[in-house]
Amino acid sequence: MEREKLKKLKQMGFLDKQLGDEDKIREKRKKSGIKPTYKMVDTCAGEFDAVTPYYYSTYETEDESEVSERKKVIILGSGPIRIGQGIEFDCCTVHAVFALREIGIETIIINNNPETVSTDFDISDKLYFEPITLEDVLNVVEKENKNLLGVMVQFGGQTAINLTMPLHEHGVKILGTLPENIDKAENRDLFGKILDKLNMPSAEWGTGYSFKEVREIASRIGYPVLVRPSYVLGGRAMEIVQDEIELSEYIEEAVRVSPEHPILIDKFIQDAIEVDVDVVCDGETVLIGGIMEHIEEAGVHSGDSACVIPPQTLNEKILDKIREYSKRLALELKVKGLLNIQYAVKGDTVYTLEANLRASRTVPFVSKSVGVPLAKLAAKVMIGMKLRDLVPDPYLDPMKRINHVAVKEVVFPFTKLPQVDPVLSPEMKSTGEVMGIDKDFAMAYYKSQIAAGNELPLQGTVFISVKKSDKPKILEVGKKFSELGFEIISTSGTSDYLTNNGVENRKILKISEGAPNILDLMRDRKIDLIINTPSIGKNPKRDGYRIRVSAIELDIPYITTVAGALAAVNAIKDVRERRIKVKSWNEYFGR
């Protein structure tokens, strides 16, 4: 390709990889002297001299970005906010900037989302408003190479972490955990071997490169299984399948399977309690930031599940086992920075599900809950500082020191997406999160529901309709609502089950059975809370779907899991005779 033609294409905005082999095109550009120049964003519209350190790349001649002599670090942001990659990662990026500023290091952010705090003019020393691509990051690295300590990839979610190996292969210094160790956690085969070596139980799993292989693995492991494409964020296209028919439908409709696009198959551990742990490690010392117990059972994406610190149903023996496993894994992977581990607890067994050697979306929640800024500590560790110099020994397990309960609840976009079924699944749907904090679980949970816009009624009428397998578990919920004086309304199957087990309720017609039905009562504002769990499989029953969608449209609080219903009725029982008290965050930590 001729030099002028290549330059013209770059000025038009084409990436190197869109023009051919990315490395070859890049090398040709550099030899031809075709390099990006950086212009300052004119935030004063030409009326005054702009001094904001915002820069964007062009292929012109004048370069307005001046490189300093200071020691500096480049931090990769998370790019556009979307389901699976939210503002929580930007919070971590900003805290990393604050930490490095405290020790006099220049911070440079690469991010292209104007709706984030990290791209505000007064956060970092310099901002390159560029896409999080290999080409654009390498361009900035070459520009800012003078006294550059390296690049931090741990704070930008999966978008940034996916660039770890490509940047490493191009000679870029990755700060924190070594790229090969990050890859060990991302690669299922390597990660499985590490778990075996550490004697840490895990669910059976396999990787299929064709439908035949996927079917054979699922048959060997035993249904139900959790299936998903490899290397996805937010559980995209992740699903629990119950049999070979559903597996066939999944392969046909949801994904393509090939040697380039393998499918991961995991044994689904039914009725397990899912647990998240956020850790900071310097390669020698491990800080257990917090252990979060999910309120929904395993099978709901961790980003969509409410969770609580400290755990409410796990005994100290299980918690000690989780701490021990987390320390083993952090030290084996030689983590320098952040580590998130997900576990499933069933009985006395703690199964390791996955590990992410980066900031997780729970880091801001954990930091607020335990009073320790995990992202700031991680940033300092990544440039070589030691935890024992930063944190006193008692704070290496800060959860043990708190005397309150914190509940994270998620916020969903369903009000803006009419006709979308709000049922929870392994595929992430939430777009934000809120937090409730109080001296006990009931009030903390109740506060979290208010914050999430799903305020629980303290009296009135509750509608309960659950799938067959949930009926034994919903009995306790029904009894508690009845004892609290709520009127219970149910459709035939659930109604008969509750009646046969001594729970008084009123039977109502299903939507498909005629009128007046549950939808009519909802429209007449005669229902105060809806508990409706979906049928197994990807095609929910029409009645259940219409009930859940109507709950959103009519702004009626709704719950789609038995675990969520139990947490709700317990919270209602404990708070109805109490007043909500407000305290500042500092008061919970005696500050």
Mean pLDDT of 469-486: 94
DSSP per-residue letters across 486-536: -EEEE-HHHHHHHHHTT---EE-B-GGG-SSBHHHHHHTT--SEEEEPPPS
Tokens of 254: 């949801």
Backbone φ, ψ for residue 480 (5° rounding): -70, -40
Beta bridge pairs of residue 490: 464, 507
How do residues 115-162 score in pLDDT, each as one tens digit? 888 888 788 999 999 999 999 999 999 999 999 999 999 999 888 999
pLDDT confidence bin for 113, thresholds 50/70/90 = confident
Domain borders along the chain are 35-175, 204-267, 273-402, 457-575
- Residue 258, pLDDT score: 60
> pTM of the prediction?
0.88
Closest CA to 526 of 518, 535, 534: 518
pLDDT value at 536 more than 60: no
Task: Evaluate whether 343 touches 351 at the Cβ level (below 8 Å).
Answer: yes
pLDDT value at 254 more than 70: no
Q: How far apart are the first and last CA of the chain?
A: 65
- Residue 237, pLDDT score: 67
How do residues 349-377 score in pLDDT, each as one tens digit? 999 998 999 999 899 999 999 999 999 99
- Residue 539, pLDDT score: 44
Instruction: For domain 273-402, say whether CATH 3.30.470.20 is its number.
Output: yes
41-55, 163-177, 509-523, 529-543: least confidently modelled range: 529-543
pLDDT confidence bin for 549, thresholds 50/70/90 = confident
Beta bridge pairs of residue 227: 239, 265
- Residue 141, pLDDT score: 97
- Residue 230, pLDDT score: 64
pLDDT value at 510 more than 80: yes
**538 or 170: whose pLDDT is higher?**
170
Tokens of 77: 């942001």
Top-level CATH class of 35-175?
A: alpha beta
- Checking 326-330 for CB contacts under 8 A at 24+ apart, the result is 326/277, 326/279, 326/286, 326/288, 327/286, 327/288, 328/198, 328/200, 329/194, 329/198, 329/200, 329/355, 330/279, 330/281, 330/286
Q: How many CB atoms lie within 10 A of CB 322?
A: 21
pLDDT value at 523 more than 70: yes
pLDDT value at 86 more than 90: no
pLDDT value at 590 more than 50: yes
Strands 263-267 and 225-229: antiparallel
Altogether, the residues listed in the chain come to a count of 591
- Residue 234, pLDDT score: 47
φ/ψ bin of 147: left (φ > 0), alpha (ψ from -120 to 50), beta (otherwise): left
Provide the mean pLDDT of the chain: 89
The residues, any chain, with a CB within 8 Å of residue 322's CB and separated by 6 or more, are: 275, 277, 291, 314, 343, 345, 350
- Residue 538, pLDDT score: 44
Task: Evaluate whether 411 touches 430 at the Cβ level (below 8 Å).
Answer: yes
**369 or 543: whose pLDDT is higher?**
369
CA 562 to chain centroid, in Å, comes to: 22
Closest CA to 339 of 461, 476, 176, 497: 176
Percentage of residues in the chain with pLDDT exceeding 70? 95
Mean pLDDT of 11-18: 92
pLDDT confidence bin for 413, thresholds 50/70/90 = confident
Query: Furthest-apart CA pair in the chain: how many Å?
Result: 84
Please check whether the two domains, 35-175 and 273-402, share a CATH topology. no
Backbone φ, ψ for residue 503 (5° rounding): -105, 115
pLDDT confidence bin for 249, thresholds 50/70/90 = confident
Top-level CATH class of 204-267?
A: alpha beta
Top-level CATH class of 457-575?
A: alpha beta
d(CA 558, CA 527): 10
